[in-house]
Amino acid sequence: MTEEKKEMRLIELKGLTKTYGQGAAEFEALRGIDLQIDQGEFLSIMGPSGSGKSTLMNLLGCLDQPTTGSYLYEGIAVEGLDAVQRSLLRRYAMGFIFQGFNLLARTSAIENVELPLLYRGIRRGERHELARNALHSVGLQGKEKNSPAELSGGQQQRVAIARAIVTNPSTLFADEPTGNLDSSTTLEIMELLTRLNAERGISVLMVTHEDEVAKYARRVIRVTDGLIETDTGVTRERAEVLT
């Protein structure tokens, strides 16, 4: 591998496992995952209930620790980090959106988006400007002062996306981001994620059970019984060869 391609690697998993419980109650959720993801990819993770896809997403997002195996994120050995170090990695390199939006009900849209910046200790004026710009980038001009109750489901998810990207993360983790949305709003949200991936170069790692949603990704992996069953799509390395 050339030095240039080494710089493109975002994530590398080798032999990643995750076991819950002990003795008779022991359950092996992941049974040895090998996976490489390049910077700027849009990857969809699919699989039936209990397949291990959510466990894999939690490990990739540093929300949990593997039992065995190695996980490199931008060259950092994640499995060796303690809880505080993993929290800092999430804060400075990752953004998250969820099916349930997870917005604070009694605060405005712009205040919700400002939260990650508050945790970073950024001053109020700069927080406000960055949050406003993030809301504008997802098409919510004029909605800055609205509470979540005053917004549609699609608008609430846009606020959640603005909150996830306001810190300019290298990776956006999306867990069933359209699960609570109707078909037309789903289309709008997926087009927004596609645009953020293409224009900003943000890597998007998405869990979904919907085939139509997964098609927006350039690469789809299917997890079955704790293992990657299939891995399809055009990775950046393949795209360079094809062009």
Kindly tell me if the per-residue pLDDT of 2 is higher than 50.
no
Output the DSSP codes for 173-238: EEESTTTTS-HHHHHHHHHHHHHHHHHH--EEEEE-S-HHHHTTSSEEEEEETTEEEEEEE--HHH
| Entry pTM | 0.89
Higher-confidence residue of 234 and 17: namely 17
pLDDT band of residue 233 (cuts 50, 70, 90) is confident
pLDDT band of residue 148 (cuts 50, 70, 90) is very high
pLDDT band of residue 110 (cuts 50, 70, 90) is very high
Can you give the residue range of the structural domain that contains 201? 40-63+87-242
Angle made by CA atoms 21, 71, 213, in degrees to the nearest 5: 85
- Residues 21-75: tens digit of each pLDDT: 988 889 999 999 999 999 999 999 999 999 999 999 999 999 999 999 999 999 9
CATH code where residue 127 lies: 3.40.50.300
Q: Which amino acid is at 218?
A: R
Let me know if residue 5 belongs to a domain.
no
Let me know if residue 121 belongs to a domain.
yes
Say if residue 58 is exposed, middle or buried (CB neighbours under 10 Å; 0-12, 13-18, 19+). Answer: middle
Let me know if residue 7 belongs to a domain.
no
| Total domains in the fold of the chain | 1
Let me know if residue 117 belongs to a domain.
yes
What's the whole-number mean pLDDT along residues 168-178?
Answer: 96
Kindly tell me if the per-residue pLDDT of 241 is higher than 60.
no
What's the whole-number mean pLDDT along residues 172-186?
Answer: 95
Let me know if residue 82 belongs to a domain.
no
Let me know if residue 104 belongs to a domain.
yes
Kindly tell me if the per-residue pLDDT of 4 is higher than 80.
no
Q: Please state, in angstroms and rounded to a whole number, the distance separating the CA atoms of residues 227 and 229.
A: 6
Let me know if residue 214 belongs to a domain.
yes
- pLDDT in the model for residue 23: 87
Let me know if residue 150 belongs to a domain.
yes
- Residues 182-198: tens digit of each pLDDT: 999 999 999 999 999 99
